[in-house]
Structure formats: C-alpha cells, structure tokens
Amino acid sequence: MKLKYGLVVLVEAAMRAVMCLPRFRLCCALKSLFLRCLGAKVGKSVIYYPGIWIMTGRNLTLGHHVNLALDVLITTDGGVSIGDRTMVGYRSQIISCNHIIPDKGERIFDSGHVHKKVDIGKDVWIGANCLIMPGVRIGDGAVVAAGAVVTDNVPENAIVGGVPARIIRMREE
C-alpha cells in the first residue's frame, strides 16, 4: 500500500514539473510524451500552456491542434475525448469523475465515485473559467461562453452560456 501511495506522489510531482514548462514546441512535445506514458492518446501539435493538471492521464484522447490554456484541469478516469482544433480557455475544468452523494446517515467519505465520459467535438471553443461536468457531450463547432457550467449535452454549432449553461443562439452559416 505504501508503494502505491509513493507512486501516486511520484506521478503527481512529475506532472507538476512537466506541466509547468512554457508552451514552446519542444516543451509541448515533452508534455505529449509524458501524457502518452500515462496512457493518453495525443494528436499532433497540441499546445499546452503552463500549469495544466491532467490526472490520471489514462482514458484521455486529444485530437490534433488542441489548445489547452493556462491552468486547465482535466480528470480523465471516466474518459475524456477532445476533438481536433478545439480550444479550452484559461482555468477551465473538465471533470469526468465525481463523488457519489450517499443516502442520509451514510458517510460521504466512503461513498465512492461515479465515472462518466466527457466527449468534446471538433472545432469547439470553451471559454475561460468553464466547468464541464461528467457525462456531457459537446457537439462539433459549439462555443461555451466564459464562466459557463455545462451539465447537459450541447448540440453542434450551439453557443451556450450561464449557470447552468443554456443555448444562447446557434452559430450562423
């Protein structure tokens, strides 16, 4: 058991060290290699700003030319897929795992977790400080306004915003 916790601490320390590097091409290639070692599938030319936190890395698929801005947080145990040419804004969070709320009288600490895949399509723009909750599908071409909390699926080419996020309008052709 101590070995397991030691490995967790080691991986977390490595994540912090690697992901604090600047977004130069060589540093981004190193970050992609690190994520692949954790079990992620990573496309070409992914840009990682400093301060990103992606844990555990397994069940993650990043398409080509994905852009992850400063301080993005992604939990991947439930599965996260981000399509080609998608931008994730500053301090946004993509959560694929959450705690289970136990029945009254039961301990919250022991309640366990629920894992649900997050699927983000191609050419999506997620604004700054957004929260994408477990089980959400965001369609191709969608735009999520800054500060939105996405709890339900977002159709293709929809512009959503608010808490919880609602359709503001559809993108024009």
For residue 30, give the H/E element and its range.
Answer: helix 25-37
Q: Please give the single-letter amino acid code of residue 18.
A: V
Tokens of 162: 């608010």
In sequence order, the β-bridge partners of residue 15 are: none
Tokens 């496309």 belong to: 43
Tokens of 150: 């996405």
In sequence order, the β-bridge partners of residue 144 are: 126, 160
- d(CA 133, CA 162) in angstroms, rounded, equals 14
Pick from 72, 76, 15, 12: nearest CA to 47 = 72
Is 115 a known active-site residue?
A: no
Q: Please give the single-letter amino acid code of residue 120.
A: I
- d(CA 31, CA 35) in angstroms, rounded, equals 6
- d(CA 64, CA 67) in angstroms, rounded, equals 9
Active-site residues: which are they? 99
